[in-house]
Amino acid sequence: MQLELQNIKKSYGEGGSRIEVLKDISLGIEKGEFVVLLGPSGSGKSTLLNIIGGIDTADSGKIIIREKSMADMDEKALTSYRREHLGYIFQMYNLIPNLTVRENIEVGAYLSKKPLDIDEIIEVLGLKEHQNKIPSQLSGGQQQRCSIGRAIVKNPDILLCDEPTGALDYNTSKEILALIERVNKEYGNTVIMVTHNDAIKNMADFVVKLRDGVIRKSYRNETKQTAEELDW
C-alpha cells in the first residue's frame, strides 16, 4: 500500500459553530492507481486532499505513506515529503505570474534530484510555441497544462489534483483529463483527483464518494473509460 489513511477526523471552528468536515475516514491507495474523490461542495474532499498533501493537518487519525507515519514528520520533514513525493494541480492553476511557461515548469524541476526532461514535457503538453509566454498571455487550458507540467516534471510519486477541470470548458476539460491519464500511464504516478463531476469517476481505478465528511461508497472500477470516452 502506497498510502493509507486511518480514522482521519477534521473539524473547523469552536463551540456551537464547530463543523466536522471529515468524520473517521479510512482508505488505502495502491501505487500507480488513478483515484477519484467524488462529492458535492462541502463534502470534505478538498480538505482530505490537503491533509494528504501535508498542507493541512488532521485532528486525529493516521496517515501512512510508504510505511512512514506523517504524524512523526516535523515541518522540515513535511516540506521534504512534498518536495520529493508530491505534485500539485489546482483548479486555479496557481502559476507564478511573472515567470514564463518554461520557467514555471522549472520551478517544479528545481525540486527534484532527477527531473524529467523539460523540453520533452513541454512538447508532450503541447506548450512548445507558448513556452516563452507569461501566464496572463495564455488561455485557461494552456495555463492548466503548464501547471500539470510543473507538477509532473519532478516525477512525483503522487499527483494531487484539486478540481483540475473546475474552471475549464467541456473540450478543454477533456483534453486536460486525457493528459493526466497519459501521465498516469506513462510515468506510473499515483493520481488522486478531487472532483464534483460525476462522469470523471469512470476513468478512475478507485472511486471514493464522500458526503458530509463521510465515505458513502468506495469501489474499484472493473472497466474504465478513457478520458476521450467521457461525456457529461
- Note the residues at the interface with another protein (CB under 8 A): 46, 50, 53, 55-56, 76, 79-84, 86, 88, 90-100, 102-103, 106-111, 132-137, 150, 162
Measured from the CB atom, the residue of 79 and 226 that comes closer to another protein is 79
Measured from the CB atom, the residue of 53 and 206 that comes closer to another protein is 53
Measured from the CB atom, the residue of 74 and 222 that comes closer to another protein is 74
Residue 81: strand, helix, or coil: helix
Q: Name the strand (E) or helix (H) holding 215.
A: strand 214-220
Tell me the closest approach of the beta carbon of residue 99 to another protein, in angstroms. 5
Measured from the CB atom, the residue of 13 and 220 that comes closer to another protein is 13
Tell me the closest approach of the beta carbon of residue 164 to another protein, in angstroms. 13
- Which amino acid, one-letter code, is at 61? G
Tell me the closest approach of the beta carbon of residue 91 to another protein, in angstroms. 7
Contact 49, 21 (CB under 8 A): no
Tell me the closest approach of the beta carbon of residue 50 to another protein, in angstroms. 7
Tell me the closest approach of the beta carbon of residue 15 to another protein, in angstroms. 22
**First-to-last C-alpha distance (Å) of the chain:** 32
Residue 148: strand, helix, or coil: helix
Measured from the CB atom, the residue of 135 and 207 that comes closer to another protein is 135
3-state secondary structure 158-201: EEEEECCCCCCCHHHHHHHHHHHHHHHHHHCCEEEEEECCHHHH
If you search the block for the grid coordinates 483534453, which residue do you land on?
Answer: 175
Give the CA angle between residues 87, 89, 94 to the nearest 5°. Answer: 115
